[in-house]
Amino acid sequence: MKRVTILIPTHNRGDLLGKTIMNCFKQTYKDFKILIYDDGSTDNTSTIIKKLQLSFPNRIQYLKSKSNHGIGYARHELLKNLSTEFGVWLDSDDYMKSDRLAKCINYLDSNPSVDIVFSYLKRFHEVHNGAFTPMGNEIKIDVSTYDKTNYRSLYSNTACATAFFRKSLQKHEVVPLRYGSEDVLWLWKLLNADVKVGQINETLYFYRSHRERLGIQKKKLNKEDKIPEEIIIHQKIEEYRNE
């Protein structure tokens, strides 16, 4: 049985998703599977995944929604379907350092009281010939600045995609916010449940810099959709406090 599931939310990323999946199979740690949640793609995503499933039998599981609900919903569904000992987030247009899984597993195996570990990340862009060009300095996730009484302290210091965690965190559901920041609310919930957070002080995640990132198409919005995200998060937090 595989120990790790790489959880990939995607929407209309067929041109980049194939590269991301191939990058997964360059990991030095091989005991993993990939779970993809396709949030209503209308491009060639399903065709690309079917070809990769033939190349890597029994390693890639594919779930698809009939419509686009947003990244919060995609993460919610991925976490709900996690079946292995560990889960790790990976956005469908990003890359991982080849030893990311190995180092994260070693960290949690060596620190049994820690439930989730973050790492540093670095932005990059990829030019037409496929060259990988890093951008700027590494972005350091400083867990010491997390304040579980103030969720705003997490906004610029979360980087959900770098998180590697135990299946036991599955009980803390990701709230399917439509426009992002579901990672902020999820981490706030974890901290207030006294989940112990760890950190690897090294860049293990590479974040692709381009104009479009995963999210819901905002062409048709109803009144509920127009509620500011800040208000929605505040309302959700008040609900949890009153439970």
Nearest to 133 by CA among 142, 143, 141, 122: 122
Helix (H) or strand (E) holding 50: helix 45-55
Question: Using an 8 Å Cβ cutoff, are 179 and 216 in contact?
Answer: yes
Percent of the chain with pLDDT over 70: 80
* pLDDT tens per residue across span 127-147: 666 666 766 788 887 777 788
- Count how many Cα atoms sit within 13 Å of the Cα of residue 219 in the half-sphere of its side chain: 2
Residue 133 vs residues 24, 106, 129, 189: alpha-carbon distances, Å: 19, 29, 11, 36
Helix (H) or strand (E) holding 61: strand 60-64
Q: At what angle do helices 182-192 and 71-80 cross, to 10 degrees?
A: 50
Query: CATH code at 57?
Result: 3.90.550.10
Q: Which residue type sits at 74?
A: A
Q: What is the CA radius of gyration of the chain?
A: 17
Higher pLDDT residue, 139 or 101?
A: 101
pLDDT of residue 146: 80
pLDDT above 80: residue 174: yes
pLDDT of residue 34: 98
Long-range contacts of 137-143 (CB under 8 A, 24+ apart): 138/203, 139/207, 140/201, 141/199, 142/199, 143/118, 143/197, 143/198, 143/199
Give the residues across from 10 on adjacent strands: 38
Rounded Cα distance between 97 and 162, Å, is: 11
Helix (H) or strand (E) holding 86: strand 86-89
pLDDT above 70: residue 231: no
Structure tokens at 6: 């790489």
pLDDT above 60: residue 222: no
Helix and strand tally (H, E) in the chain?
A: 6, 9
Length of the chain: 243
pLDDT of residue 221: 40
pLDDT above 90: residue 75: yes
pLDDT of residue 142: 78
Rounded Cα distance between 220 and 132, Å, is: 36
Number of domains in the chain: 1
Range of the domain at 110: 4-241
Using pLDDT thresholds of 50, 70 and 90, give the confidence band for residue 114. very high
Higher pLDDT residue, 212 or 177?
A: 177
Burial 91-103 (b: 16+ CB within 10 A, else e): bbbbbbbeebbbb
Using pLDDT thresholds of 50, 70 and 90, give the confidence band for residue 239. low
pLDDT of residue 45: 96
